[in-house]
């Protein structure tokens, strides 16, 4: 059994809570820009003093309509300025935020608002409002609803005109560091989502220590973050709260399709995303280079960037490599950095493994992606790579003040002030997860001598072949999924003679692939199911994945599906994790065909 811990760099103030951040920033940095919001298509900046005024106004409205300390208040909205405003307003009223994914079905909304006992909910659009209204008669505790796009924030401000600042202070002081700040429902690959109770102290310990350890990336008055992750996901909440800890400027993007354009307009110094975002940037740039007849140049530049990054870990690049790198920096790398806004030197990535090769590529072009790892239960990151000593391919060291343990069977455990207090209304699940002060992650990993953690798979997802070989599917899936043409992939083979997989095609890249390969523009995946070029391209993706594992773990056959795995189809969670049991059930015939044809 291996343990590793780091001393805390930040201590949670006694009796402190998240609403304090807004007041502290207004007092210490009143004229510093802390937020930027879109108004009529243009970015409008807000200082710390201006943000406090808006938070206080919304908090007064909540209090005036009967929201009391400890009450649960839901937010169902895309990522936008008002989400952050309302989050801090709810905390300022002493209440508890309950995030709801804006893509949630009526059944999911009913469960989350009903299980949490929410007394109010703020929605964004007419569609969100309609979903809530569909189940409202089954939510007896739900008393109040507001809609952002129909003047909900202004209505709150108007309702609270007679509420005094002293009353808000009384409400917000009712919450201490041990009080619940939010109940975040796990997206759930199986069964009902469980509500993770995260306290004010959990977030303060997490964000305070992250900001201290990454201090050069959180420079007040200089640094900025563009947030495009869903705020219903705990990683999005960290991207909201950590900037307030520094403070640095935060901007929001509601639609992932607008990210490229907004990166150029906002020019963040730090980007927080998930691996799929960075994979898309790489694949899009490569596809564009191929379309312009510069594919070979791009590939040579990519290999040079990877070699350059690897050389940094081995004492530095030699003269020839440095010269090649300098040439490609002008031809290729500078353009890629410009596509990321031009100012960012680092990104923080979580939610899934990035992959060692892509990690080296980005560091090689002058944009280091710091991988981290965590769960909803650990308030997002429980490990992350330090800015000054990243180890590409690992998910970094523990958050300062936290401990990581790897048990004899390889399961990873955590302990620290960032670990949740339990599941809402579910003492049995809490007891199963929190054991002797340690939290069981359900993930398999390893620690090196410096405390850097590597995650190799999910304990419950281990496949055991008919020959008795244990296979962690995540390792090969992540490599195959990184291919531009692949949308999703799921490895199968439990109690079967060999490992195989199901593959879907990326709908965004498929038109480009057809154009490059002379296929009819209107051809569907089903039309090209037997096309040798398409199958060869997918086999190349599989071969790349197989390079990461032993022969016994390698995929021997794959089956192309003429569909997509999505949240809407029920095969992905809102955080884009595979619902393996659902896929196994829905595609049982396709899986069986892999072993009979």
Tens-digit pLDDT profile for residues 73-115? 999 999 999 999 999 999 999 999 999 999 888 998 999 999 9
SS3 28: helix
CA atoms of 306 and 426, how far apart (whole Å): 47
* pLDDT for the residue 188: 55
Tens-digit pLDDT profile for residues 407-427? 998 999 999 999 999 999 999
- Interhelix angle for 234-245 vs 19-28, to 10°? 30
Q: What is the mean pLDDT of residues 183-197?
A: 80
Q: What is the mean pLDDT of residues 516-538?
A: 95
* pLDDT for the residue 63: 98
Q: What is the mean pLDDT of residues 300-326?
A: 96
Q: What is the mean pLDDT of residues 483-499?
A: 92
CA atoms of 374 and 353, how far apart (whole Å): 11
Q: Which of 375, 398, 403, 374 is nearest to 386 (CA)?
A: 398
Judge residue 161's burial from the number of C-beta atoms within 10 Å of its C-beta, 0-12 exposed, 13-18 middle, 19 or more buried: exposed
Q: Is pLDDT above 90 for 300?
A: yes
- Tokens linked to 302: 């990519």
* pLDDT for the residue 117: 98
* pLDDT for the residue 351: 79
Specify the range with the lowest mean pLDDT, choosing from 109-118, 284-293, 447-456, 554-563. 284-293
* pLDDT for the residue 570: 87
Cβ–Cβ under 8 Å, residues 559 and 489: no
Q: Is pLDDT above 90 for 521?
A: yes
Q: What is the mean pLDDT of residues 334-343?
A: 92
- Tokens linked to 72: 């649960």
* pLDDT for the residue 442: 87
* pLDDT for the residue 191: 62
Q: Is pLDDT above 80 for 190?
A: no
Cβ–Cβ under 8 Å, residues 385 and 391: yes
* pLDDT for the residue 185: 94
Element (H, E) at 411: strand 411-415
State the pLDDT confidence band at 187, using cuts at 50, 70 and 90.
low
Cβ–Cβ under 8 Å, residues 298 and 289: yes
Percent of the chain's residues with pLDDT above 70? 99
Give the DSSP letter of residue 597. Answer: -
* pLDDT for the residue 528: 96
Q: What is the mean pLDDT of residues 367-392?
A: 95
Q: Is pLDDT above 60 for 170?
A: yes
| pLDDT averaged over every residue in the chain | 93
């Amino acid at each position: 059994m291996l343990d590793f811990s780091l001393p805390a760099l930040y201590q949670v103030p006694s009796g402190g809570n998240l609403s304090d951040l807004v007041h502290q920033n207004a007092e210490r940095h009143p004229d510093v820009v802390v937020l930027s919001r879109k108004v009529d298509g243009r970015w409008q900046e807000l200082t710390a003093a201006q943000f406090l005024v808006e938070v206080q106004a919304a908090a007064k409205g909540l209090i005036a309509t009967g929201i009391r300390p400890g009450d649960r208040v839901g937010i169902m909205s895309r990522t936008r300025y008002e989400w952050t405003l309302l989050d801090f307003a709810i905390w300022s009223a002493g209440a508890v935020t309950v995030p709801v994914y804006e893509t949630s079905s009526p059944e999911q909304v009913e469960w989350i608002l009903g299980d949490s006992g929410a007394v109010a909910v703020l929605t964004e659009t007419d569609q969100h409002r309609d979903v809530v209204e569909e189940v409202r008669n089954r939510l007896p505790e739900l008393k109040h609803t507001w809609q952002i796009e129909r003047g909900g924030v202004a209505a709150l401000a108007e309702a609270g005109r007679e509420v005094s600042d002293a009353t808000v202070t009384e409400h917000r002081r009712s919450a201490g560091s041990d009080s619940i700040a939010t109940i975040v429902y796990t997206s759930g690959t199986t069964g009902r989502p469980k509500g993770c109770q995260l306290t004010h102290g959990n977030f303060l310990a997490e964000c305070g220590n992250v900001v201290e350890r990454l201090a050069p990336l959180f420079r007040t008055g200089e640094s900025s973050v563009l947030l495009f992750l869903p705020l219903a996901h705990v990683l999005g909440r960290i991207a909201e709260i950590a900037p307030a800890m520094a403070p640095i400027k935060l901007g929001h993007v509601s639609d992932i399709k607008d990210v490229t354009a907004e990166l150029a307009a906002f020019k963040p110094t730090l980007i927080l995303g998930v691996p799929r975002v960075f994979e898309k940037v790489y694949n899009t740039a490569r596809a564009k280079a191929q379309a312009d007849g510069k594919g070979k140049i791009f590939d040579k530049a990519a290999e040079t960037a990877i070699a350059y990054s690897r050389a940094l870990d081995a004492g530095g690049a030699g003269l020839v490599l440095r010269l090649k790198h300098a040439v490609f920096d002008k031809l290729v790398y500078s353009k890629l950095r410009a596509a990321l806004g031009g100012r960012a030197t680092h990104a923080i990535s979580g939610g899934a493994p990035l992959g060692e090769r892509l990690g080296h590529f980005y560091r090689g072009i002058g944009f280091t992606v710091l991988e981290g790892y965590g769960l909803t239960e650990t308030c997002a990151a429980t490990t992350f790579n330090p800015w000054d000593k990243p180890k590409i391919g690992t998910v970094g060291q523990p958050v300062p003040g936290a401990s990581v343990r790897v048990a004899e069977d390889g399961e990873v455990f955590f302990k620290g002030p960032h670990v949740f207090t339990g599941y809402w209304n579910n003492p049995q699940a809490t007891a199963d997860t929190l054991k002797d002060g340690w939290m069981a992650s359900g993930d398999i990993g390893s620690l090196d001598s410096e405390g850097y953690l590597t995650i190799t798979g999910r304990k419950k997802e281990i496949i055991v072949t008919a020959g008795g070989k244990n296979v962690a599917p995540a390792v090969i899936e992540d490599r195959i999924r990184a291919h531009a043409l692949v949308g999703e992939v799921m490895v199968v083979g439990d109690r079967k003679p060999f490992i195989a997989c199901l593959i879907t095609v990326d709908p965004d890249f498929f038109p480009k692939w057809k154009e490059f390969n002379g296929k009819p523009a209107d051809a569907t995946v089903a039309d090209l199911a037997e096309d040798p070029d398409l199958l060869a391209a997918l086999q190349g993706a599989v071969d790349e994945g197989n390079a990461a594992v032993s022969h016994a773990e390698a995929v021997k056959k794959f089956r192309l599906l003429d569909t997509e795995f999505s949240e809407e189809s029920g095969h992905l969670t809102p955080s884009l994790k595979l619902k393996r049991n659902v896929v196994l059930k829905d595609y049982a015939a396709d899986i069986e065909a892999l072993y009979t044809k």
